[in-house]
Amino acid sequence: MERLSVRAFTVPTDGPEADGTLSWTSTTLVLVEAGCGPVVGLGWTYGARATAALARESLAPVVLGRDALDTAGAYEAMRRALRGAGRPGLGSYALSAVDLALWDLAARLLGLPLVRLLGGRPRAVDVYGSGGFTTYADRLMARQLRGWVDGQGIPRVKIKIGEARGTRPERDLERIAAARTAIGPDAALYVDANGAFTAKQAIRLADAFAADGVTWFEEPVSSDDLPGLAAVRAAVTPDVAAGEYGDEPRAFARLAPVVDYLQADATRCGGFTGFLRATAVAEAAGVPLSAHCAPHLHAHAAAARAATVRHLEWFHDHVRVEQLLFDGALDPSGGTVTPGANGAPGHGLTLAAERAAPYQVDA
C-alpha cells in the first residue's frame, strides 16, 4: 500500500436528537482513504475528530508499504502499535476505519464486490428503520416511522426510550403506544434504551408495554452490566440485544450467554476483520448477530455471513451522512438491501467530493 490519508467531516443533524443517555446536534465521520496506484479504498468510523489524528500518526506508519492484500497482517500490526496509545475506545475506532479502508482497497484491486472477497455473494439483507429519538414530538416520530413502513416497505422499526436517563417511564410508554399506532399491527416494533435503566426498571417497563407487541429490547441496562442483562433476558418476552461497543472477540464472548442477539459495529470492533471475528463468536455461541449502524459498510459483511447476521440497522443519522458524503448508496425499499448486485468493486461507494467539501473539519 502506497498512501493513506485521513479526514473528518461533521454534518449537523436535521433536528435536536437524543436517546436515553446522550444528546447531540451533529455527527462526525472520520474517513480513511488507502491508496495503491490509481485505486483508492474507503473506510470510516463515527466518533471524535481526535480519532483522525490517532489513525494518521499511530496507524499509517505501520500499514504503509505493506502488501495491500495482507489485511490480517495489517490488523495485527495496528493492534500492536496501539498498545501504548490505548487500543480500546478511540484506538479501536481508528483501527476500524483503517481496516475497513484496507478491505475495500483489496476488493477494488481485485475488481470484486466486497461481499465476494468476504466469501459470500450478493444477496438480500434485511434492514430495520432506526430513529425515533426521545427529542421527537409524537407527530414527527410517527411521520418518520410511516416513511419506513409505508413509504419504503421496511417492516421493522426501532425507537429510542429511557428518556432522561430512565426517569420518565410514563413518557416512554406513551411513545411506544404512539409508535405502534403509527405503524399498525403488523410491522415489528423495536425499542432501544441505551443503558438507561436498572434491571428492575427495565423488567417493569417491559411488562407495561407488553400489549404493544415490542419484540426487541436493546440495551435495557448498560452492556457492562452482565448480571443485569441476564436478569432482564430471563424475565421479559422481547429479545434482549447488546454489544454495539464490543471491541474484541472476548467482549462478545462475555455477552453471548446473557443476550438473545449480539450486536457488533465494524466501525468500532476492528473493521471487517473484527466484525468477522464477532460473527464467529456468535455462531459458536448459537446466538444471532445484528449489525449496528453504518449500514453501507455493514451490508457486504452481513450478506457474506447471512447464516449468522440477522439484519442491519438503517440508522437515520448515518443514512443521511452516507447518502450526503458518498455516491452509490443502497436502496432499502421492500425492507432489504442487496450489496454487490451491480458488480461495483469494493463496497461500491465513492466520495462525493463537492458535496462533502463544506462539511470537512480540521482533524
The single residue of 292, 296, 316, 347 carrying the catalytic annotation is 292
The DSSP letter of residue 57 is I
Distances (CA, A) of 122 to 111, 115, 147: 15, 7, 26
Q: List, in sequence order, every residue forming a beta bridge with 26; answer none if it has no partner.
A: 12
What residues contact residue 195 under an 8 Å CB cut-off, 6+ apart?
20, 21, 162, 219, 220, 221, 222, 223, 225
Q: Which residues of 293-318 are buried (b: 16+ CB within 10 A; e: fewer)?
A: bbbbbbbbbbbbbeebbbbbbbbbbb
Q: If you ran DSSP here, which 8-state letter would residue 38 be given?
A: T
Of 105, 12, 103, 102, the residue nearest 55 (C-alpha): 102
Cell 432489504 -> residue: 336
- Cα 70 to Cα 75: distance, rounded to the nearest angstrom: 9
Torsion-angle region of 44 (φ positive above 0: left; ψ -120 to 50: alpha; else: beta):
beta
Q: Where are the alpha helices (DSSP H) in the chain?
A: 50-54, 60-63, 71-81, 92-110, 114-117, 138-146, 163-166, 169-183, 199-208, 226-235, 249-255, 271-285, 295-304, 316-325, 353-356
Residue 130's nearest CA partner among 339, 340, 356, 332 is 332
> What is the rounded CA–CA span in Å between residue 236 and residue 50?
40
Closest to 94 measured CA to CA, from 59, 68, 66: 59
Q: Is 300 a catalytic residue?
A: no
Residue 171 grid coordinates: 413518557
Residues catalogued as catalytic? 292
